[in-house]
């Protein structure tokens, strides 16, 4: 990894990049073919930087196709950069006594913005979630502003900040609903690279320990 790439990715650059790449075998930035990361193939990191906003998109490349490098993006291709703030989520629920936790992540783990957070976590951060560095098993996340709340509507879980519904999930299990009503609170955690397609508690805790997640406690209301 070049020093320039390392500097842009910040602390724990290699850990972050590796876990993001492992989410699924990425396509090569240069040739478009899949890089078999899961099978041990090395992926170099190419960072495309928006010269206007400083946002970055992390690409991967076969080592024969490109070295790790920083390239200047075309800021006029605005649609591509808007994708970085596209609010698409995958979600998983994890019972982390004493807290009921809900984990969310962007469906696009390769989109990062300046500062190391992806568009989704940055958007949630601007709504009041704060950086969480504590392993989930001992989470002591801050309580969110009173405007935040969650409730159950016709079996769906709704999470809102004030009047704006930001998340709605269907298919909540009766156990989850019972636990939520009992706890009266939900620990909401968001990160780009939790790896929720194949949840692994150790990996989730690594993301939390390295400051890659934002979170807060959302009050339940009837």
The residues that touch Zn ion, with contacts defined as CB under 5 A, are 28, 30-31, 62, 65
The two three-digit tokens of residue 74, written as one number: 């075309």
Cβ-count burial of 184 within 10 angstroms (0-12 exposed, 13-18 middle, 19+ buried)?
A: exposed
Residue 110 Cβ, how far from Zn ion at the closest point, in Å?
A: 15
Residue 71 Cβ, how far from Zn ion at the closest point, in Å?
A: 15
Nearest to Zn ion of 23, 61 (CB atom): 61
Nearest to Zn ion of 62, 99 (CB atom): 62
Nearest to Zn ion of 29, 148 (CB atom): 29
Q: Return the closest-CA partner of residue 218 out of 99, 83, 44.
A: 99
Contact predicate 120/188, CB 8 Å: no
Q: Return the closest-CA partner of residue 102 out of 43, 10, 185, 211.
A: 185
* Closest residue to Zn ion in the complex (CB): 28
Nearest to Zn ion of 57, 204 (CB atom): 57
Residue 178 Cβ, how far from Zn ion at the closest point, in Å?
A: 50
Nearest to Zn ion of 32, 163 (CB atom): 32
Residue 38 Cβ, how far from Zn ion at the closest point, in Å?
A: 16
Q: What distance in Å separates the CA atoms of residue 137 and residue 134, rounded to the nearest whole number?
A: 8
Distance of alpha carbon 143 from the chain centroid: 20
The two three-digit tokens of residue 65, written as one number: 């196709």
Residue 4 Cβ, how far from Zn ion at the closest point, in Å?
A: 21
Contact predicate 157/174, CB 8 Å: no
CA angle 55, 45, 9 (to 5 degrees): 45
């Amino acid at each position: 990894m070049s020093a320039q790439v390392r500097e842009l990715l910040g602390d724990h650059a290699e850990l972050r990049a590796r876990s993001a790449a492992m989410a699924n075998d990425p396509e090569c930035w240069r040739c478009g073919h899949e890089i078999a990361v899961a099978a041990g193939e090395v992926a170099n990191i190419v960072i495309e930087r928006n010269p206007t906003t400083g946002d970055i998109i992390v690409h991967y490349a076969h080592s024969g196709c490109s070295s790790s490098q920083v390239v200047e993006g075309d800021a006029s291709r605005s649609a591509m950069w808007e994708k970085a703030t596209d609010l698409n989520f995958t979600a998983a629920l994890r019972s982390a006594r004493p807290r009921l936790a809900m984990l969310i992540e962007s469906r696009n783990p390769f989109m990062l913005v300046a500062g190391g957070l992806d568009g989704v976590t940055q958007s949630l951060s601007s709504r009041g979630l704060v950086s969480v560095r504590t392993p989930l098993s001992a989470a002591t996340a801050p309580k969110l502003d009173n405007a935040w709340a969650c409730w159950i509507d016709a079996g769906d879980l709704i999470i809102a900040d004030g009047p704006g519904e930001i998340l709605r999930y269907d298919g909540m299990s009766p156990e989850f609903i019972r636990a939520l009503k009992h706890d009266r609170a939900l620990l909401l955690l968001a990160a780009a690279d939790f790896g929720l397609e194949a949840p692994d508690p150790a990996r989730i805790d690594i993301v939390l320990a390295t400051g890659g997640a934002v979170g807060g406690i959302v009050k339940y209301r009837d």
